Structure 1
Amino acid sequence: MTMKIRSELITDLKGFIEIRPKWENLHRESESRSISTSWAWMWTWWEVFGDEGELIIISIYDDDELIGVAPLWRRRVKRFGLISTFQIKLLATGEKGKDEICSDYLNLILRRGREEEAIKGMFDLLQDERWDEIVIEALEAGSGTVELLKRMASDRRLKMEELGRMSGFYVELPESWEDYLPRLSQSFRKKIKRNRRELTEALFRAVKTHSELETTFGRLIELHQERMRSLGKPGAFSSERFTEFHRLISHRMLDEGKLYMRSLELNGETIAINYGFKEGDVLYLYQSGIRSLRTNRISPGIALESFCIEEAIRAGLRRYDLMRGDEGYKFHWRPVKHEMVNLKIRRGR
């Protein structure tokens, strides 16, 4: 039986909405499944940042079966203030520095076993499109997509280069909290025990309603910004667009059962918040807000993180992802290091 691979271009919001059910079904089965490649994440990003370019989402089909989605957008950029070029990027990338939402684990959404055909379909359609370069950011370095892009770009005499790498960290979760603790240093285990003991009266709360989310999200901003200002930094929520994106996506993920927001409350005051998302068997810790207490003996952040990791283990999750960045606190939890890569594909001159 001859396969009939075809590629279609989506350039408007109507098409973006209509592909949602098929995108979500494909996403659940794809090796590139992550919170950042979900339809809701990409849609919300475009809702906030889409005024800076045009949609060019490519859907690849085998007859009526969706085997791939390339979630792309295009914009004009100037080089050296003079030369204007057409650049294609993945959705959820390309914000101005202060607005950057730092989407990790980006990728093309590809059906398992059909990756090569889907990527070929993407390149076939792009052959007749207007572009000078394609920039793909935060792609898992170990993903098979990297080698497929490299090979297919070479076959088409396109130039592909690596722009750089970034490190991320995640905790591989065992079957029980008791199995996890021995991985940690003795001194850090003592810190966890002491903080839990000192904060025995603190309440560990989960956000379950939209009204709770509004209140907790506002407190998250306060705690995060206070901490960043004390370090002489502007803080992520100083950006209106960053804040708008997260207000929207947090409510949508709550509706989908994917929001993960936990807090510690002591004497009626919220002193620590973790904000993230669940996708499949992975919990992504995206942002936190911690109040500095007047004693060095107590760290609400350590206590909250330990409760969250223990909860994730009990829920049967496979990974507790600390996302990109090499902040010192992450290493106490004995994470696994991984790399994400940024790539550029250029048409020959």
Structure 2
Amino acid sequence: MLNPTIKVIPLKEYPLEQLEQEWIALFERSAGCFFLSWNWIGSWLSILPNFDNVYVVRAVSTVVNKPSMNNDALNDYTLDDYALDDLLGFGIFCETHVRRHGFVTSKQWHLHRTGNDKLDQIWIEYNDFLLSSGDAISSHQIRTAMWQSLLTSNSRSQNVDEYIVNVAESNSYNALKQSLFNQNHAHSFTFELDSKQLGFKTALTDSKIQDYPNKFSKSSFKQINKTRLELSKLGDLEIEYITNHDAAFECLNFAKTWHIDKWASSQTPSGFCNDAFIRFHKKLCEQNNNDQKVVCIVARLNNQVIGVNYIFIDATTAYFYLSCLKPQNNSRIKLGLLLHQESVKYAQFQNLNYYDFLAGQSRYKQQLSDITTEFACYTLRRKKASFVIESTLSKVKAYLVRN
């Protein structure tokens, strides 16, 4: 097994053009999830107010002419002492300082998030380090080595109290927990599961995908056919696939009012009410390329937009991110189901393997899919007296509420 060299570098000291080049090069050797592409990460960085307290964690397999292996020396050598093929892993953390309950203080590092609700409303999923998937060393080994370095030996991260990873795939981090804690690498930390939820996706290579979603849910299939019939009574229905970056963002901008109205009374209002969310997606649309891109699946009635599915595409998967649907007076019209059928058709046409509904247990996701995934939010928390007291008081409070 190769022995990766792990380095933590303030983003302000890392030329952004170089980071982009290196990130893209590593992404091409990774599992290739859209949420870890430079399209997503670069767009996210573009909405940060500044790069203060933002850190790049980088793993490389070899370092040419590196100095002695003490931590201070490792923090001094130049960024250019390796080749692109040597890159094994990348991650970006944002630092925050919080106070809870008046007496608990914590220095937190958030992976690919900021800790600020408005900036984090873009909601990354499949959150993880960007990892090489080569044969010489597995992505699990690289992930473990990077976390081991952060938790035990890297000088820049020694005062971090909590590492927070939101919406990670459970399988990867359950394996990480076993590797780190069974080997006693992280004896000064606990590995906390904060929350979890299921996700759903559909395999597009199965014969069941013909006449989708008839073999998953006959009732949904009938509702889609009824929707087409009812819409045909009102005029001409057209489906359009928009990949042009300007047109895609204009389409979202036009339809956003429906999304805003739908979520207006919820605890989490529409992201379209959030300027950072809008700026992020404008940038994301601008970064479209042939391999990682955003696509709007648009339904038009008499040449007027009545619904939009906003999806992300990588080499294997189409990810459903959100929809904007014009309210209909006719309860037989199910625009959402119709657009998912058309989105699956588009994904099939692109020879993709999956249509992913992402996290969330909405009934329609379960009805239209055949694969269940699990996502979770984790905190790797330093063992401190104040955290032990906080945890004990929380358990006592929960007990009193139950009884």
TM bin, normalised by shorter chain, reads 0.7 to 0.9
Pick from 226, 242, 259 the counterpart of residue 194 of structure 1. 226
Relative to structure 1, is the Cα distance of residues 97 and 4 closer, same or farther in structure 2, using a 3 angstrom cutoff? closer
Once residues 295 and 43 of structure 1 are traced to their aligned partners in structure 2, the CA distance between those partners, rounded to angstroms, is: 42
Once residues 383 and 367 of structure 2 are traced to their aligned partners in structure 1, the CA distance between those partners, rounded to angstroms, is: 47
Q: Note if contact 2:95-2:114 (Cα within 8 Å) is conserved in structure 1.
A: no
* SS state at 2:329 partner: coil
* SS state at 1:253 partner: coil
TM-score normalised according to structure 2 size = 0.77
Counterpart in the other structure of 2:190: 159
After alignment, is 88-97 or 63-72 more displaced? Answer: 88-97
Counterpart in the other structure of 1:135: 164
Counterpart in the other structure of 2:398: none
Q: Note if contact 2:8-2:57 (Cα within 8 Å) is conserved in structure 1.
A: yes
Counterpart in the other structure of 1:289: 324
Once residues 376 and 265 of structure 2 are traced to their aligned partners in structure 1, the CA distance between those partners, rounded to angstroms, is: 32
The aligned amino acid for 1:152 is: L
Relative to structure 1, is the Cα distance of residues 184 and 156 closer, same or farther in structure 2, using a 3 angstrom cutoff? closer
Q: Give per-residue Cα distances to partners, 1:158-180, cap 9 Å, x unaligned.
A: 22222221221112223564264
Q: How far apart are 1:231 and its partner, in Å?
A: 7.3
* SS state at 2:166 partner: strand
Q: Note if contact 2:316-2:353 (Cα within 8 Å) is conserved in structure 1.
A: yes
Q: Note if contact 1:173-1:180 (Cα within 8 Å) is conserved in structure 2.
A: no
Q: Note if contact 1:276-1:286 (Cα within 8 Å) is conserved in structure 2.
A: yes
Q: Does 1:89 align with 2:89?
A: no
Q: Note if contact 1:133-1:345 (Cα within 8 Å) is conserved in structure 2.
A: yes
Counterpart in the other structure of 2:126: 105
After alignment, is 170-179 or 316-325 more displaced? Answer: 170-179
Q: Note if contact 2:89-2:131 (Cα within 8 Å) is conserved in structure 1.
A: yes
- What is the 5 A alignment of 1:334-349? 334-349=369-384
Relative to structure 1, is the Cα distance of residues 37 and 146 closer, same or farther in structure 2, using a 3 angstrom cutoff? farther
Q: How far apart are 1:122 and its partner, in Å?
A: 4.7
Pick from 217, 221, 237 the counterpart of residue 252 of structure 2. 217
Q: Note if contact 1:172-1:336 (Cα within 8 Å) is conserved in structure 2.
A: yes
Relative to structure 1, is the Cα distance of residues 307 and 82 closer, same or farther in structure 2, using a 3 angstrom cutoff? same
Q: How far apart are 1:223 and its partner, in Å?
A: 2.0
- What is the 5 A alignment of 1:42-61? 42-51=41-50, 54-61=53-60
Once residues 19 and 224 of structure 1 are traced to their aligned partners in structure 2, the CA distance between those partners, rounded to angstroms, is: 35
Once residues 292 and 61 of structure 2 are traced to their aligned partners in structure 1, the CA distance between those partners, rounded to angstroms, is: 31
Q: How far apart are 1:59 and its partner, in Å?
A: 0.8
Q: How far apart are 1:295 and its partner, in Å?
A: 1.4
Q: How far apart are 1:140 and its partner, in Å?
A: 0.5
Q: Give per-residue Cα distances to partners, 1:64-87, cap 9 Å, x unaligned.
A: 301111322222122224443211
Percent of matched pairs sharing the same residue: 21
Q: Give per-residue Cα distances to partners, 1:154-208, cap 9 Å, x unaligned.
A: 3231222222212211122235642644423332222222223444521111223
* SS state at 1:289 partner: strand
Unpaired segments of 5 or more residues in structure 2?
Answer: 63-81, 385-403
Q: Does 1:170 align with 2:201?
A: yes
The alignment covers a number of residue pairs equal to 346
Unpaired segments of 5 or more residues in structure 1?
Answer: none
Q: Give per-residue Cα distances to partners, 1:13-53, cap 9 Å, x unaligned.
A: 5434313233223223324x322112231222232235485
Relative to structure 1, is the Cα distance of residues 165 and 16 closer, same or farther in structure 2, using a 3 angstrom cutoff? farther
Relative to structure 1, is the Cα distance of residues 163 and 29 closer, same or farther in structure 2, using a 3 angstrom cutoff? same
Pick from 286, 305, 311 the counterpart of residue 251 of structure 1. 286
Q: Give per-residue Cα distances to partners, 1:132-159, cap 9 Å, x unaligned.
A: 121112111112x432344325323122
* SS state at 1:142 partner: helix
* SS state at 1:155 partner: coil
Q: How far apart are 1:245 and its partner, in Å?
A: 1.6
Relative to structure 1, is the Cα distance of residues 4 and 339 closer, same or farther in structure 2, using a 3 angstrom cutoff? closer
Relative to structure 1, is the Cα distance of residues 227 and 136 closer, same or farther in structure 2, using a 3 angstrom cutoff? closer
TM-score normalised according to structure 1 size = 0.88
Q: Note if contact 1:168-1:340 (Cα within 8 Å) is conserved in structure 2.
A: yes
* SS state at 1:310 partner: helix
Once residues 335 and 118 of structure 1 are traced to their aligned partners in structure 2, the CA distance between those partners, rounded to angstroms, is: 29
* SS state at 2:365 partner: helix
Once residues 38 and 299 of structure 2 are traced to their aligned partners in structure 1, the CA distance between those partners, rounded to angstroms, is: 31
Structure whose CA Rg is larger:
2
Question: Which is bigger in relative contact order (C-alpha 8 A, separation at least 6)?
Answer: 1
After alignment, is 285-294 or 118-127 more displaced? Answer: 118-127
Once residues 66 and 52 of structure 1 are traced to their aligned partners in structure 2, the CA distance between those partners, rounded to angstroms, is: 23
Relative to structure 1, is the Cα distance of residues 17 and 11 closer, same or farther in structure 2, using a 3 angstrom cutoff? farther
The aligned amino acid for 1:140 is: E
Q: Note if contact 1:73-1:91 (Cα within 8 Å) is conserved in structure 2.
A: yes
Counterpart in the other structure of 1:41: 40
Counterpart in the other structure of 1:5: 4
Counterpart in the other structure of 1:119: 144
Counterpart in the other structure of 2:333: 298
Once residues 197 and 146 of structure 2 are traced to their aligned partners in structure 1, the CA distance between those partners, rounded to angstroms, is: 29
Counterpart in the other structure of 2:240: 205
* SS state at 1:107 partner: coil
Q: Give per-residue Cα distances to partners, 1:303-333, cap 9 Å, x unaligned.
A: 2221111221232211111111122222331
